[in-house]
Amino acid sequence: MEDAGYVCHFDPEQPKAPILVINTCGFIGDAKEESINTILANALRKKAKTHRLERLYVMGCLSERYKKELPDEIPEVDGWFGKFDYMGIIEELENGEDLGCQSIERHITTPSHYAYLKISEGCNRMCSYCAIPLITGRHVSRPMEELIREAEWLRDQGVKELNVIAQDLSSYGLDLYKEHKLPELVERLAGIEGIRWIRLHYAYPTDFPEELLDVMARHDNVCKYLDIALQHCTTHMLKKMRRHINREEQDALIKRIRERVPGICLRTTLMVGHPGETEEDFEELKHWVREMRFDRMGAFAYSDEEGTYASRHYPDDISDEVKQRRLSELMAIQQDISAELMAEKVGKKLEVVIDRKEDDLWIGRTEFDSPEVDCEVLIEDAKELQIGEFYTVIITKAEEFDLHGKVC
């Protein structure tokens, strides 16, 4: 859009522009609800004519998935575009004229010291409950040279922290190079001067390229952090979920990760209420979460997504009430674990990057915390600090999900 002469602002809180493009997520019930609520709120703003909003467009996964149904439901939206249909919006704005914009340069919408580097798109795994492969298609890796160039470009723009992301990091390279290439990619990214932190999101346990663990252990600038979605623990549920792994293999992998990268912070995501999950499965899941003591854990309640294997083959046989009860119980366990793990950090000196200032507080993160989703370090009474700079901070107090500290 900038190439086409538009001035673009990223403002999810209070958009003021006359043209608004909402990017949506659509892979589970909660994400769809949040996307729809955002669209409805802005449709109302447009209808009320009390704001400058003249044209409203929606793109992204929700739009890709429900392109046929949504236009009738929310007629205030002027156009619905698919996840990758960037040019469609420009053509619409320019009344069908193709401006021939070819060279799409990134616009960094995060604070300038960190950025996301998407290394592949799509997923071939076909977990029973997941609509992502239906929305984004099969796994396609981006060429390594292109990623290195992009990482260097980001570094030149002031980025010091790269958050490497993909729906399935573990498969990087298999389509393009016919072999696992994630370890080599991370090794090369670690060699880029000026990149202080590299963080890895969304590994898949089956076929996890374990050479990566040596790369993580070897390089100081590869965060000792891994986001690996495990979803469940019982072999019965892992099979139903089509995760291609059993309990023993999964537990052994976690053990090896922790042995080969000492001190690693593991983040995982779990699902409760998937069809067929018995009380025994759930009790075992709770026991396992207590035993595993993940540093970070998120959980979802299963939602029936049309077109998925689970939707086609299993009845959604667990009530919403039970799903929500299981979700709260699991999160309460994790809350206690998190509080204990955070308390262990009191008195330690940790490297912290400063993300922003709120009133008198400087807000930062350690290498064990990803932006937006993990814990923060709140620094009071400090001298003037620089956003995007790294400081050694002594931790003075811990809460369940946040730390307090002072710059040394």
Q: Which of 389, 388, 365, 360 lies closest to 376 in space, CA to CA?
A: 365
What is the per-residue DSSP string for 266-287? EEEEEEE--TT--HHHHHHHHH
| Closest distance of CB 130 from ligand SF4, Å | 3
Tell me how far CA of residue 145 lies from CA of 141, 184, 199, 263, in angstroms.
12, 12, 19, 31
Alpha-carbon distance of 150 to 121, in angstroms, equals 16
**Cβ atoms of residues 183 and 191 within 8 Å:** no
**Cβ atoms of residues 149 and 196 within 8 Å:** no
> For residues 195 and 266, which CB has a smaller minimum distance to ligand SF4 in the complex?
266
> For residues 133 and 405, which CB has a smaller minimum distance to ligand SF4 in the complex?
133
> For residues 204 and 208, which CB has a smaller minimum distance to ligand SF4 in the complex?
204
> For residues 133 and 173, which CB has a smaller minimum distance to ligand SF4 in the complex?
133
Half-sphere exposure of 139 (CA within 13 A, CB side): 20
Six-digit token pair at 331? 């999160």
> For residues 53 and 130, which CB has a smaller minimum distance to ligand SF4 in the complex?
130
> For residues 130 and 222, which CB has a smaller minimum distance to ligand SF4 in the complex?
130
**Cβ atoms of residues 345 and 404 within 8 Å:** no
In 10 A of CB 113, how many CB atoms?
21
b/e per residue 363-373 (b: at least 16 CB within 10 A): bbbbbbbbbee
Six-digit token pair at 129? 């409950």
Alpha helices in 298-347 (DSSP H): 309-313, 320-343
Q: Which residues bind ligand SF4 (CB under 6 A)?
A: 123, 125-127, 130, 132-133, 167-168, 204
Alpha-carbon distance of 313 to 304, in angstroms, equals 11
